[in-house]
């Protein structure tokens, strides 16, 4: 399937029949559902429980006038729905958004008929119908796997300063802002050329946020500025035992990035596809056959009870190449590099690993391995965070759980974007996740299938030579057309940034004092 299929499904419209809409209205009324997608998911899920494929919806069927978008229909669990439906419908690599839409609409229509029949057999008693549907669910028992709960931080309002000074320029009035307020995306983007202070400002804000919200953080440090000889440096140095330091290449990241062996098959399949896609993005044009061999090798590693290591994935893949009469290729080369440098070791489950604070240096890795290691971490944290229950919202302030900071973020924003980063930014806010991205130029955020900046609540831009693309990328978030002279050294002297804070107009803010 097209690698951008998820984004297309997210934006696509799915039609339901008039019969399905009438039944859904009854279900929502009987069970107190507030949203159309709640009842729709029941019908589609009911059909997926059947072993046979649904019949396509007839061309003369009467459809309800208002379809549902994929964003509403599947929501935060879109990965799970795509995996279930793809496996159920045996969709091939050539499947299109139209093929997926037809399959969804067929399940929707069949689920309607099945539940109608069951409602009739229950004497139209909604309580008996609920019990009937519950009886269809598999029992939890030996072999079932649940996602460990990720502890939430301190509840209530979280206010932050913009850097150590945090004063409006030039009048010197102190300023701070609420990060987790109602309707506010908590994510932060900082941009500016080298030496402007974006990393210093970002780290100050990250540490302040972690302390105020009482949440762990993960700082990905591609340049290796903050870990030397396994020890924290710079602003992290004073934290000592509170933060773990890893210098990848000398030490492996102690993270088990694959699901448990006893996980449901769809979970294993989804994890295998996700890791395959990340590896493939860092290889030179591998063919469909090699990609499928890699996916199968990952599934074998998960399912056979062996250690969840890149070494085992590599072994299975090499065996598949030999069995297929093929020699080493770019995938094998990339796996060899990862294993030779011992980049990961499966010592800690995601809830253990992400429940601590980390600074991970990638300095010793080649550029492609830096990108791949980052993407593997992003895949794991995105999958883990998005399986959590929504975090609480006492008095309208979202309770936070975790902070992810990516320095030199252009390496995952440009070229081939990370689907997992997109999901974490787009869907993670309801789970209490905060993402901070540090990059050199706004154009790094432009051209991705997702408009990252539209999902980010706070943007801090230091002086830099703006391209038309860069200015265009900032237009939406700043709410007006921007000019190049607004990003010059004259308009933004050292330590001053052009900032868009939640619920405020764009303004110049002195973040630090030279």
**What gap in Å lies between CA 445 and CA 470, rounded to an integer?**
8
Query: What's residue 459's pLDDT?
Result: 93
pLDDT digits (tens, 9 = 90+) for 23-56: 888 888 877 777 888 888 988 988 888 877 888 8
- The residue with greater pLDDT, 497 or 72, is 497
pLDDT digits (tens, 9 = 90+) for 452-500: 677 889 999 998 877 777 787 788 788 888 888 888 888 999 999 999 9
Q: What is the DSSP string of 138-190?
A: PPP-TT---PPPPPP---S--EEESTTT-EETTT--B-EEESS-TT----EEE
Distance from CA of residue 43 to its chain's centroid? Answer: 27
What class does CATH assign to 5-135? mainly alpha
Q: Is the pLDDT of residue 432 over 90?
A: yes
Query: What's residue 142's pLDDT?
Result: 37
Interstrand relation of 496-500 and 507-510 (parallel, antiparallel or unpaired): antiparallel
Query: What's residue 140's pLDDT?
Result: 40
In which band, very low, low, confident or very high, does the pLDDT at 132 lie, cut at 50, 70 and 90?
low
Q: Is the pLDDT of residue 504 over 70?
A: yes
**What gap in Å lies between CA 425 and CA 418, rounded to an integer?**
11
Q: Is the pLDDT of residue 14 over 80?
A: yes
Buried b (16+ CB within 10 A) or exposed e, 161-189: bbbbbbbebeeeeebebbbbbeebbbbbb
Buried b (16+ CB within 10 A) or exposed e, 408-434: bbbbbbbebbbbbbbbbbbbbbbbbbb
Contacts 24+ apart (CB under 8 A), 442-445: 442/191, 442/466, 442/469, 442/470, 442/471, 442/473, 442/474, 443/467, 443/469, 443/470, 443/473, 444/191, 444/409, 444/410, 444/413, 444/414, 445/189, 445/413, 445/473
Least confident of 70-74, 140-144, 199-203, 302-306: 140-144
Write out 161-174 in H/E/C secondary structure: ECCCCCEECCCCCE
User: What pTM did the predictor assign?
Assistant: 0.73
Least confident of 87-101, 154-168, 204-218: 87-101
| Comma-separated ranges of CATH 3.40.50.300 domains in the chain | 159-166+177-256+349-510
What average pLDDT does the chain have?
Answer: 86
pLDDT, mean of residues 333-355:
92
pLDDT digits (tens, 9 = 90+) for 110-119: 988 888 888 8
| pLDDT above 90 coverage of the chain, percent | 41
| pLDDT above 70 coverage of the chain, percent | 92
Residues 6+ apart with CB under 8 A from 248: 341, 343, 360, 361, 362, 364, 365, 373
Query: What's residue 284's pLDDT?
Result: 83
Q: Is the pLDDT of residue 241 over 50?
A: yes
In which band, very low, low, confident or very high, does the pLDDT at 18 lie, cut at 50, 70 and 90?
confident
- The residue with greater pLDDT, 138 or 481, is 481
Residue 162 contacts residue 205 (beta carbons within 8 Å): yes
C-beta atoms surrounding 195 within 10 Å:
9
Residue 269, Ramachandran bin (φ over 0: left; ψ between -120 and 50: alpha; else beta): alpha
pLDDT digits (tens, 9 = 90+) for 246-256: 999 899 999 99
Phi and psi for 225 in degrees, rounded to 5?
-75, -25
Query: What's residue 22's pLDDT?
Result: 86
Which tokens hold the place of 36? Answer: 């159309």
In which band, very low, low, confident or very high, does the pLDDT at 143 lie, cut at 50, 70 and 90?
very low
In which band, very low, low, confident or very high, does the pLDDT at 398 lie, cut at 50, 70 and 90?
very high
pLDDT, mean of residues 319-323:
93
| Comma-separated ranges of CATH 1.10.1220.160 domains in the chain | 5-135
pLDDT digits (tens, 9 = 90+) for 269-318: 888 988 998 898 888 888 889 999 999 999 999 988 778 888 999 999 99
Q: Is the pLDDT of residue 361 over 50?
A: yes
What class does CATH assign to 159-166+177-256+349-510? alpha beta
């Amino acid at each position: 399937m097209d690698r951008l299929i998820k984004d297309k499904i997210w934006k696509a419209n799915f039609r339901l029949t008039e019969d399905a809409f009438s039944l859904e209205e009854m279900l929502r009324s009987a069970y107190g559902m507030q949203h159309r997608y709640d009842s729709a998911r029941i019908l589609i899920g009911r059909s997926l429980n059947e072993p046979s494929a649904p019949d396509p919806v007839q061309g003369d069927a009467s459809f309800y006038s208002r379809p549902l978008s994929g964003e509403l229909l599947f929501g935060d669990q879109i990965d799970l729905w795509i995996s279930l439906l793809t496996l159920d419908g045996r969709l091939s690599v050539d499947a299109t958004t139209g093929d997926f839409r037809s399959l969804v609409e067929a399940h929707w229509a069949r689920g309607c008929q099945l539940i109608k029949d069951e409602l009739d057999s229950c004497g139209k008693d909604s309580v008996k119908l609920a019990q009937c549907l519950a009886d269809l669910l598999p029992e939890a028992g030996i072999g079932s796997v649940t996602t460990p709960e990720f502890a939430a931080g301190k509840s209530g309002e979280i206010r932050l300063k913009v850097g150590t000074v945090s004063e409006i320029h030039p009048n010197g009035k102190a300023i701070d802002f609420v990060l987790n307020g109602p309707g506010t995306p908590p994510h932060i983007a900082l941009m500016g050329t080298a030496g402007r202070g974006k990393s210093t400002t970002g780290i100050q804000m990250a540490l302040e946020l972690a302390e105020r919200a009482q949440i762990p953080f993960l700082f990905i440090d591609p340049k290796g500025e903050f870990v030397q000889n396994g020890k924290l440096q710079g602003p992290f140095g004073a934290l000592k035992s509170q933060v773990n330091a890893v210098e990848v290449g000398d030490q492996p990241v102690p993270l088990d990035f694959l699901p448990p062996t006893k996980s449901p098959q769809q979970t294993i399949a989804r994890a295998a596809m996700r890791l395959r896609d990340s590896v493939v993005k860092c290889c030179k044009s591998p063919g469909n056959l090699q990609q499928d061999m890699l996916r199968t090798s990952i599934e074998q590693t998960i399912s056979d009870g062996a250690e969840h290591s890149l070494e085992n994935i590599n072994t299975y893949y090499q065996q598949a190449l030999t069995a297929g009469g093929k020699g080493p290729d770019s995938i094998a080369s990339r796996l060899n590099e990862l294993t030779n440098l011992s980049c990961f070791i499966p010592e800690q489950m995601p809830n253990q690993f992400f429940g601590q604070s980390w600074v991970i240096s990638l300095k010793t890795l080649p550029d492609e391995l830096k990108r791949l290691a980052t993407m593997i971490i992003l895949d794991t944290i995105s999958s883990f965070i998005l399986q959590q229950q929504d975090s609480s919202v006492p008095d309208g302030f979202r309770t936070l759980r975790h902070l992810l900071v990516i320095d030199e973020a252009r390496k995952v924003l440009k070229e081939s974007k990370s689907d997992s980063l997109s999901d974490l930014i787009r869907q993670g806010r309801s789970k209490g996740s905060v993402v901070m991205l540090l990059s050199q130029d706004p154009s790094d955020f432009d051209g991705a299938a997702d408009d990252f900046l539209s999902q980010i609540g706070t943007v801090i831009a230091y002086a830099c030579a703006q391209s038309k693309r860069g200015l265009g990328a900032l237009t939406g978030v700043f709410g007006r057309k921007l000019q190049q002279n607004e990003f010059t050294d004259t308009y933004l002297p050292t330590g001053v940034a052009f900032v868009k804070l939640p619920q405020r107009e764009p303004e110049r803010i002195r973040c630090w004092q030279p």
